[in-house]
Amino acid sequence: MSDSLCAAIYAGKMPYEAAWALQRRLAAARAADRIPDVLLLLEHPHTYTLGSAGKPEHLLWSPETLAERGVALYRVDRGGDITYHGDGQLVGYPILRLPCGADGLHADVIAYVRALEQVIIDFLAGYGVQGERISGLSGVWVRKEGAPHKIAALGVRVTTKRVTQHGFALNLTTDLRYFEGIVPCGIRDKGVTRLADLIAQPPDLPAAAAQLAPIFAARFGRRVHPLSLDQLLTTLGDAHEFHVAP
């Protein structure tokens, strides 16, 4: 198995629970070296997720309002607080086997998160938008009306085999009204924005996925191999290793 290969998959819209189950399946296969690294790119229907640091009081809408507005809710095993997923948002789930960190045993999770942030920053730069970091906070921020607004949220998990799960959510044409139902990432004093509020013609999700995949691969020293979800699922059901043409 070549460690330089990354299968880039745009899976369209997928319910959160199905994507979460797929991540676990892919992570187990990656840990067993049955598949290469994978970047799974997709979109979710309206969903709130509470991470390991999520506080229930950061969910502002009642169960009745969630049901009325068609929003699913999950407590998940990534880091971070509460966030929103929905239409017009590009979600990325890297399934990478990370190298050992300075201790020779565990992955450097902070360095991994910083690298993910840089992928988003580089993507935004291609549209003339300056993304930035804020000390002490994860994610990517932009200046809007002079104040920092979050345009991409990050929350990750790294298994004991140093394989990553979860990832990032980048707002392209997202309906920001759904962020009114939560305290996004538990941060009360900063806003949320989307690329559509910063440029005249934001890309649709397939185009954004195609643009972001090579940026991601370059940042992590991988070679992109476009793949369909059906092809990958066929591989997972096979006893043989993943193979691609040279």
How do residues 58-73 score in pLDDT, each as one tens digit? 999 999 999 999 999 9
For position 154, which CATH number holds?
3.30.930.10
Of 240, 229, 213, nearest in space to 32 by CA: 240
Asked if residue 234 belongs to a domain, the reply is no
Asked if residue 202 belongs to a domain, the reply is yes
Asked if residue 6 belongs to a domain, the reply is no
Total H helices, total E strands in the chain? 5, 12
Structure tokens at 123: 């993507």
Asked if residue 10 belongs to a domain, the reply is no
Looking at the predicted structure, is the pLDDT value of residue 245 above 70? no
Local structure of 220: helix, strand or coil: coil
How do residues 138-170 score in pLDDT, each as one tens digit? 899 999 988 999 999 999 999 999 999 999 999
State the pTM of this model. 0.93
Asked if residue 237 belongs to a domain, the reply is no
- Domain holding 197, by residue range, is 44-90+97-221
Query: In degrees to the nearest 10, what's the CA dihedral of 141, 210, 21, 156?
Result: -30
User: Rounded distance, CA 4 to CA 37, Å?
Assistant: 8
Query: Is 100 considered catalytic here?
Result: no
Q: Which of 185, 212, 213, 227 is catalytic?
A: 185
Asked if residue 229 belongs to a domain, the reply is no
Number of structural domains (the chain) is: 1
Asked if residue 28 belongs to a domain, the reply is no
Asked if residue 228 belongs to a domain, the reply is no
Q: What is the pLDDT of residue 3?
A: 61
